[in-house]
Amino acid sequence: MKLGGGIVSFEIDGNEMDVAKFHNQVRLFSITSNLGDTRSILTHPASSALAKTAPELRAKLGVSSQLFRISAGLEHAQDLITDLDQALGGW
């Protein structure tokens, strides 16, 4: 990967339980705090890389508790979309 891959950030509309449910329902994505791999990765910065950062500072940085980041790997795009769809449970 000479040029690297893209990263998509998004927030889900929900509370802490909804965030945890979504995070636990994803099947195809690797769950890690690192980005950039041949596998697609889903990260939840508020509970991983920024877990020890004060909520006020996270908010100032634009990192909410509902924020997720995806680093797309080499899987077929429709497979990733289907996985996210099922994890969101038809919200």
Query: How deeply is 6 buried, as exposed, middle or buried, from its count of CB atoms within 10 A (0-12, 13-18, 19+)?
Result: exposed
Q: Tens digits of per-residue pLDDT, 17-59?
A: 888 889 888 998 888 766 667 888 898 888 888 888 888 998 8
Q: Maximum CA pair distance of the chain?
A: 39
End-to-end alpha carbon distance in the chain: 35
Domain count, the chain: 1
The answer to whether residue 48 sits within a structural domain is yes
pTM to 2 decimal places: 0.78
Task: Indicate which CATH number applies to the domain containing 40.
Answer: 3.90.1150.10
The answer to whether residue 2 sits within a structural domain is no
Q: Are 27 and 83 in contact (CB under 8 A)?
A: yes
Write out the residue range of the structural domain in which residue 39 sits.
Answer: 7-88
Element (H, E) at 56: helix 55-61
Distance CA 51, CA 45 (A): 7
The answer to whether residue 62 sits within a structural domain is yes
Q: Is the pLDDT of residue 11 over 80?
A: yes
Residue 84: pLDDT band with limits 50, 70, 90: very high
The answer to whether residue 1 sits within a structural domain is no
